[in-house]
Every structure is written in structure tokens, then in C-alpha cells.
Structure 1
């Protein structure tokens, strides 16, 4: 059995800890957002929860583009094509920003039929509308900021993105209570104040990122048209399946919200808080999906499959041990965590049930997420897309629906946990098979060269 070299563990730690800290702060302020909003009442919290699937849709597109940025640029750098990497950086920053802007405009124009389809009643629609405009602005600025982060990660710099995530999170936390609840005689903006706080924080972070980019030579202004003609096809070969993979979770979130909406407003509010807690608890997994693919991409560009195996084995061990330990602790503390996050007693009870059922299962969900992210970096985007599809529509949603039919909120928690466990096991099996096939190709290549 191969043992992981200590230097590899140290390198993975150095690459991942800034992103883990940044992801924790970024997702932590989103959880605090929801906790502040919960103090406004169940209706504002439910209104925010109905926007989550649409927000995940935007994030899915931006992450798909970010995956392509990191994969193509890291491969170009691994192959010694620095000039091409600069051209790619410029193209994706401009094109990605325009694409997200078009998506945000479309979601604003079609918001009412979308939210009605998700199950929002007429009493919540005016509240959602006031929140959705500034939230879309915040989403666009955040997407542009994310593309900048992807560029830095592709060049092996995870420290600046991590620091900026912490900075924007702290700014958001400072602005949240002021803009939501007001100060002195000013009563604040209520629910829209949370979105405006995020938009202002991301704008300040984008300013710092733009200033730092001007000090690098990672962008180009010439040869972009020719590069676009050359790279559009390989870019879409990665970004297309990656975006489809990333768009599946928002679609699944919409369907899951519709399932939960049948159980009532308190169930939707509890589900929204559980979704926020899910992303925070997965901070290490999310950090690894950001820091590991550029490293894997450089290994892939250099043909170093042995290093790829070592990296993935180490990362998987970290994910399983961390998520299982954290999940068990949070499950034991579920009543206290629910009391901290929710103001309504009914929401607290249902949130505690969701925490107990869901959190331990994120160990195997994390394995699935890691495999999907790595597959995009290793030239298997279609397999990544298949794994995402199977996770959500074969494992997660059917189990969620069956759980809802069987036992309400408790059934949903158990059903989602079973779906996560099935998804993790299937994803690891598919990855192991793909890696075995890659190893056979590598061995044949070595024999031929000899």
C-alpha cells in the first residue's frame, strides 16, 4: 500500500487552507444573513429560501466557467504556454461577465412565473420582488469576483482569493445589521438590506482584485480574436458539461423546494436554513474543489498520473474524516444549533431534525463533489456531468420524495441522507474505474516508448 509523502500533505495544506478559510468566511456570512433574516419573521426567511434555487442557478453557471478557466489555464501553464494562458484569462473574464449579466436580466424579467412555479404564494411574492433585484446585482458582482479568483487559482495563488473572501465576509457582516435593522431613527431596509450588504461587500472586493490584477502579467490585449477562434471549442468542451453539471443542483434545488413547500411555510424556512448550514459544513470540500483542480490540471498537462493518484487519495481521506467528524458533532448539538439560527420554535424543531439526518451524510456527498471536480480537471467532463446527473436525479431527489411521502420533515432528512450516501459510493466507483483505464493507457504508452 502506498503511503502519502509528508511533503505532499504539506503542499496540499498550503494550497487548501487559504481557500478553506475564505470559503468558511464567505459561506459563514451567508448563514449569518439567514440568521439575521430569521429575526424578521418566518415570512422573510421563507421568501429568501425561495430565491436559493435561482441563486444556485447563477452560481452553477459561474462555477462551470470557473472550472474551464482553471483547467485550460493550468494546462497551458503546465505545457509552458504562458502567452496562451494570458489570452485565455482575458477572454474568460470578459465573456463570463457578459454571460452572467444576461442571465441575471432574464431571471429578473421572468421572476414571477418562476417563483410561482416553485410554490411561493401571493403573500410572499411582493417580499421576494423587493429582495430579488439587489440580490441579482450582488450575484453578478460576486460572479465577476469569482472569475478573478479562478484566474489566481489557475496560477497557483490561493492566498489572495482566500484573503478577499475573508475581507468581503467581514464587510458584509458589518453592514448586515445596519442595513437590515437600521440605526437610531432609521428602521433599515429589512430583507433587501441583506442583499445590498452583500453587493457592497463584493464591489469593494472586486476593486481590490482589479488593483492586484494590474500588478500581474496574467492578461493580454492582443491576439484575443485568434485565440477565441482556437480555444472556443476546447473551452466549451470543458465549460459546457461543467455548466450542465453545475446547473443540475439548482434544478434539483427547485424540485426539492417544491417538494418541501407541500409541507408548509415553516418547513420551507427550516429547509432554507439547512441549505445554508450545508454549504458552511462543506467548506473543506469546497476549498479542495477550488485548490485541487489547478494542481491536477498541471499534473495532467505534464502526464504525471502517479502524482494524480496520490493527490486524490489524500484529498478523499481528508474529506471523509473531516465531514464525518463534523457531521456527528453537529448532529449531537442539533438542538442548540437550531436555537441559535432560528427564532420560530416550529422552525427550530424541524431544523434540528434536518441537521441530525443530513450532516453526517455529507462525508460521502463530499467524495462525490471531489470526484466531479477532479474529473473536469483530468479531461473527463462528460463523466463529471453523468456523475452529477446520477447524484441528483437517480439518488437524491427520488430518496427525498420518498422520504417526504413516508414521514414529512423527518422523512426528508433521512431520504436526503440515503441519497447522498448512494451518490458518494457510485461516484467513487466510477472514478476508480476511470483511473484504472487511464493507468492502462499510461502503461501502454510507456511500453511503446521503450
Structure 2
């Protein structure tokens, strides 16, 4: 179990120990998704654009699973911090059962409404056939990925980040080995084309689930008795965290749908380039994403123990790491933009568009990282509604208005600069919210 009374001198080391396994795991997981898109780019601009249209709906599933995962980690870590071990076991069992059913129902719903939704996003009629071939196995992969994520959340709530990080690496390597075989084929077998990418992910995630199940058995973190009573007792606090968290996590897919519809007006190559920069964005934010996974259980235990000075120290350290890391990485990517675009894009037109995006956007991810950490901390520290409001402001008050105005005024370059300005404004707003809230945390908890 993590200690909540770590001294300032050891705090950085403790944060590093909790974060580095998740950082490596997130890097491998998101890295294979980026390379996945790079493989698809070799099939042509039409295939890459078809995949890009599916990103907002894929993020919808991720938003629901992350919102539930936040609630899992927060409630279980608070129970452990208060010494309620039996309750933590019951909570673990409940969220695994409910999460499996919720994500399955969502995936079935998204399959049923795919045609009108993708048409609304701006997909041309000739692209719908490619999207349909890809979308079915992608939904299966998304469901399996959600089950893995819930298992990871259970381990993180108990202070174990090493196993989730390791499994992310293993599944990513398996996916990378299967990708070229299933997409392009081998020998006389021609491969599956665009559909091969999600089928590779399905097989990799199945491997991860088998391994996770074997490691979870015997841990004593689950319970079969008292689940009905626990569900009645915990439903309200679970919804109190998961509801705002899921709404906050569902807003990015909605914003992504609006963003892709704006980009679609610029052309097919711009859509393809936007899909690649979206993948690159998540990879470059891997350190921040890892901290959003490793910090909440720690913060939740501090919350349960009433150790607010430790919360202040943790947040100061995490924000400094995020800003300095993202600025250094973002500037490096901006300087290497032509080479990055050449490595990822399949055609000269997409390479040119992608280079513009890489030059301007990655440095702004430092401010975006601040906003992500503040939102993640809010769900663990008893003010989920404030976190949800900050997430809404980031997307709908800062990001999308700047994106749309930039595209209207200056095409792709204007869109890129608008997105960067939106990220900067969101980071400044989140910093202000954090300072005000931590000034009197108990009074402002919601």
C-alpha cells in the first residue's frame, strides 16, 4: 500500500516508482496505435481517412470505460485508505461485472447506428464500405480493451502499477507482430487489408485478458458475497464519481466528432493527416496519461486519510513534471516535423499537411497536460462536478471555438494555430481552478 506521509525529499522517487510502469505501458499501447495508423497509411489515403472517421466513436467507448475506471480507482482506494478491505473486495467484483455489460451494450448500439453517424461526420458514400469492414472488429477490440482496462484499474487501486504497465507492453508487442501479417498478408495469403488492423488488436487483447485473469486469481481482491447489499450502498457514490467522470470523458469524443466534421470540409488528405496527429497527440502525452492513472489512487488515499498537505505536494510535483516534459518533447517534435511526417504518412500530400500540424500542436500539449491532471485529480479529491465543468470548458469554450475560427480564417494552418491557442487557454483555466479549489478543499468539495 502507498504511504500518504512521504517526505518531500522522497516524494519524487515515490511518484516515479508509481508512474514509470504505467508510462512505459501507455507508451507501448499508444505507440502501437500510432504504428497501426502508419501501416494503414500504406494502404492509401482513402483507408487512412476511413479509419480517422472512426476515432470519435472509438473515443466514446474509451470515455465510458475511463469514467468507470476513475470511479473504480477512487472508491476502492478510499475504502483501502479507511481500512475497509472487505468493502474494497465487493466493489472490485461489482465494477468488473457491470463494466462488462455496459461496454457490450454500448458497442452493439454503435454498430447499429454506424451509417447515419458516419455520414453526419462527413464520410463520403464510397468511404462507408471501408468503414463498415473496419468498424465491426474494431468494436470487438474496444470491448476487450475495456475489460482489460477495468482489470488494470483494480490493480492500480491496490497500488500495483507494474503489472498493468507490463501487460500493456506485452499486448502492444503482440499487436505489432500481428499487424503486418493480417493487414498485408504473407506468402500467397493477401491479408485482410484495413480490417486486419483491428483483428490484430482483438488477438493481442485476448492474450492480455488470459494473462490478467491468471494473475488476478488468488489475489483476494474480489468477493462473491454481499454484492447485492454493496450495490445498494455504493450505487450513489459510484454514480456521483462515475457520472460526472463519464460525462467529462464523453465530451472529448463529442468534440472530436465536431472537429472531424470541421476538418472534413478541408479535404480527404487533411482528414488523414488529422487522424495521424490525433494518434501522435496521445503518444506524446504518455507521461501525463500515466500520471492520470497512477496519481488518483494515491490522491484518493490522501483524501480518505485527510492528508491535504500531501495532496498539495503531489499536485505541485506532477504539474511541474508535465509542463517541463511536454515542452521539451513538443519542441523536439516541432523541429523534427518533416521527418516525423515522412515516417508516418503514405503520400506527399498527407505528409505536407501532417508536417504543418506537427510544427504547431505538440508544444501546446504542455498546457493540455495541466488540464488533464487537474481533471483527473478532481475526480479523486471529491470535486467531480468541478472536474467535469473544467473538461467542458476546455473543449467547448476554448478548443472548438478556436479550432473553428482558425479553420474559417486560415484553412489548415489557421485550424492548427487555433487548436494550439485553445489548448493554452484550457491549461491556464485549469491552473486557476486548481489554485482556488485547493485553497479550501473541504469547503469546495462537490
Q: Under a length normalisation based on structure 1, what TM-score does the superposition of the two structures give?
A: 0.97
What per-residue deviation string (whole Å, max 9, x for no partner) do you get for residues 276-320 of structure 1? 000000000000000000000000000000000000000000000
Does structure 1 retain, via aligned residues, the 8 Å contact 2:26–2:290? yes
Report the counterpart of residue 368 of structure 2 in structure 1.
Answer: 365
In structure 2, the residue matched to 1:17 is: 20
Asked if 1:148 is matched to 2:151, the reply is yes
Q: Say whether residues 1:26 and 2:29 are aligned partners.
A: yes
Q: Which of 40, 44, 58 is residue 43 of structure 2 equivalent to?
A: 40
Q: Distance in 2 between matches of 1:434 and 1:12?
A: 22
- What is the aligned partner in structure 1 of residue 3 from structure 2? none
Q: What corresponds to 1:250 in structure 2? A: 253
Match of 1:265 in 2: 268
What CA RMSD, in Å, does the superposition of the two structures yield over aligned residues? 1.2
Alignment pair present for 1:300 and 2:303: yes
SS in 2 for 1:243: helix
In structure 1, runs of 5+ residues without a counterpart are 443-450
Q: Secondary structure at the match of 1:218?
A: coil
Aligned to 1:314: 317
The question of 1:111 aligning with 2:114 is answered yes
Among 214, 218, 236, the residue aligned to 2:217:
214
SS of the equivalent of 1:405 reads helix
Alpha-carbon separation, structure 2, partners of 1:184 and 1:201: 22
Question: Separation in 2 of the partners of 1:88 and 1:177?
Answer: 40
Q: Is the 8 A contact 1:305 1:439 kept in 2?
A: no
Distance 2:443 2:202 in 1: 50
Contact 2:383 2:444 in 1 (8 A): no
2:85 is aligned with 1:70? no
How many pairs are equivalent?
440
SS in 2 for 1:124: helix
> Which residue does 1:335 correspond to in 2?
338
**Which runs of at least 4 in structure 1 moved beyond 2 Å after TM superposition?**
439-442
- Indicate the residue corresponding to 2:135 in structure 1: 132
Matched with 1:234 is 237
Q: Distance in 2 between matches of 1:439 and 1:163?
A: 37
1:335-385 per-residue CA deviation (whole Å, 9 max, x = no partner) reads 000000001101001101111111000000000000000000001000000
Residue 101, structure 1, aligned to residue 82, structure 2: no
**Is structure 2 residue 320 aligned with structure 1 residue 325?**
no
In 2, Cα distance between the equivalents of 1:61 and 1:440? 29
d(CA) in 1 for partners of 2:338, 2:48: 19
CA distance in 2, matches of 1:19, 1:232: 29
Distance in 2 of aligned mates of 1:412 and 1:389: 20
Q: Which of residues 330, 342, 347 is equivalent to 2:350?
A: 347
Change (3 A) 1:197 1:166: same
Q: 381, 403, 406: which is aligned to 1:403? A: 406
Q: Once the 2 structures are TM-superposed, how far is the Cα of residue 441 of structure 1 from its aligned partner?
A: 8.6
C-alpha distance in structure 2 between counterparts of 1:76 and 1:42, whole Å: 50
Q: TM-score, normalised by structure 2?
A: 0.98
Shift in Å, 1:253: 0.1
**Separation of aligned partners in 2, 1:380 and 1:412:** 33
Structure 2 counterpart of 1:379: 382
* SS, match of residue 336 in structure 1: helix
Q: Distance in 1 between matches of 2:411 and 2:214?
A: 51
Task: Give the equivalent residue in structure 2 for 1:448.
Answer: none
Name the residue aligned to 2:189: 186
- For 1:200, the equivalent position in structure 2 comes to 203
